[in-house]
Each structure stands twice: as C-alpha cells, then as structure tokens.
Structure 1
Amino acid sequence: MQDTAQERDSLKQEVQRLTVQLQERSLISVKKEHAHQGCQTEDTEGQKDYKSLFEKAKQKVNELIKDKEALLAASETRASLNTGRDEEQDIDEISLQVGCLVHELDQTTKERDELRSQVRFTDTSRDLIVSLCPPFCSLIELRHNVGRLLISFVPALDLEQVNYECNVIDEILEQVLNEVDTR
C-alpha cells in the first residue's frame, strides 16, 4: 500500500515537472516569436518542434494518469484482499473464543450437576437425621440424667467435659454397675 502511494506521488511529481517544462518551453516559444518576427520560417519550424513536444508531453501525461488509475485500482484490490484476510483472522479468533466459551459452559454444567447431586445427598442425609432426631434427643437426655446419678458414685466425674453424643456415659455406668455387683 505504501509502495503504491510512493509510486503515485512520484508519478504526480513527474507530471508536475513535465507540465512546468512544457510551460517554460511555451514561454520560450512566445519570446522567440516576439524576438524574431521578421523570420517566420524559423518560427514555424520551432512551433512544429514545440507542438510535437507538447503532443508528446500530453501523451505522457495521459499515460501517467492511466498508470496512476491502474495503481490505485491495484492498491484497492490489495486493500480488499487484506480486509478479507483480516475478516478471516477475526472469524478464526471469534471461533476460538466461542470454542473456549463452549468448553467453559461444559465445565460449568458438570460442576452444576455435581453440586445438584451433593444437594440431593445432603437433603437425604438431613431427612434421615430429622427422622432419627427424636430418639437421639431422648438418648442424649437420658445420658444427662444418668451422668447426674453417676456423680454420687464417682465424685471426680466432670459432667461439663463429657460428650453426651458418644458412649462415654454408657461405659462409666457399666463400670459403676460392675463395681456395685462385685460388692
């Protein structure tokens, strides 16, 4: 594209140079006509030379204009080809981004399904715990009461440190009962 622009600029400069040269020669021709009015045969020959030079210059200008138009058309064609390549690159980039988004969507869908499965399991576990809660709560309450009774047999027992959700109180009760039976 830059090459085309440089070539166009150089052609413009050449056209301007030829135009200036033509104007200078026209001016010289006019000066000669006025300087040598008595000698018309020489002027006619000079005019023919200038006319042929002028015609050649006009022809050269026309050729340069045609060349310039051809170069402009070629540069526009190149620009449109580059635009096509840019569009292909944009399409490739967008396709890649879409592929990444689809992959990310698949990952998110998997994670969602796993989380739903965990929620179902948690709901099932919660329902089981809720169904077992009344007997479990009464067992814990019973262990509290047994612990208070055991204080009279085991004064060193610290009820604040006892975990009523496990079998510790049951084991202590069993030991106390075994001691009472052996007496």
Structure 2
Amino acid sequence: MATIKLTINNQPRTLDVEPDMPLLWAIRDVVGLTGTKFGCGIAQCGACTVHLDGSPVRSCSVPVSAVSGQKITTIEGLSKNADHPVQKAWIAHQVPQCGYCQSGQIMSAVALLKTTPKPTDSDIDNAMQGNICRCGTYTRVREAIHTASAEMNTANKLPKNGAKVGKR
C-alpha cells in the first residue's frame, strides 16, 4: 500500500491504495464517485474519461501513483446541478439512450471545447473518435457539442461588469 495525495473535483484526498491501482478504481471504489464508468479496461472505449490537469485521460489505464499531486475532474465535478453547457446540451438533444458511455463522452466534449471553442464537424469527429457509443448517438453528440459551443461563446461575450445587454 502507498499513500497517494490527489485533488478530485477540487477536494484534496489522501488514499491508501496499491500504487498500480487504476485511477478509475480509486475514483469509483475508494472515493465513491461512480459517474465515471468502466467500459473496456484497455483505454479504447472512453467510458472512463476524466480530466487530469484539464486534459482528458482514460482513467482505466492510468495507475493512481502516476497522478499523485495532480488535479482530477470527474463528471461529478463539472457542475453541482448538471448545468454545465455541455450537460444541458446533452439533455436538450436527448443524446443518451442507454447512457453508459455518456459521462466519458461529456468529459471529452468539455475538453474539446476548452481547446477549440468553435469546433467544426471534423474537429468534433476527431476529438470524439476515442469514445464508443454502442447506441450510435454520434449525430446527436455532434449537435449537442455545437449547441454547447454556441452557448459558451455567447456567455463569453457578455459584459463582465454585470451590465445587461439587449432592448430596454
């Protein structure tokens, strides 16, 4: 056993775990955050995607000892009320069918929009290609990402001083 210090969803955590334990199991079984899913166990399906210092990683293939001291964000850490623009767009476009892959899909989409605020269809397809959806909701995923992008870009154009825009 080893003592591993992590920050998960902005909360410091100290875990006593085997150093080679996959981050996924530390998140799910030790910390108790079950939104991140196990899919394939070989980093091919994307169901276990979390952000490590802001970048998407497949948590099933990363040993917890390799991320000591780093900031991890899970689906639970995106927002308190599922009101992140990507989560809202997922609901508006009814993306999930079975829903199993969706937390990984959302985490990949959030990472894409962070680096590419106005993605093209090609950008989306490239960024999301590592996320497998057995239900085949790829068209709705793309539409939801465009919707979230538009909302996030509109929000970024609002005045920072609290002034309201529009007709009076």
Same fold (TM over 0.5): no
TM range (shorter): under 0.3
From the CA coordinates, give the structure whose radius of gyration is larger.
1
Bigger relative contact order, structure 1 or 2, given CA contacts below 8 A and separation 6+?
Answer: 2
Q: Structure 1 or 2: larger helix share?
A: 1
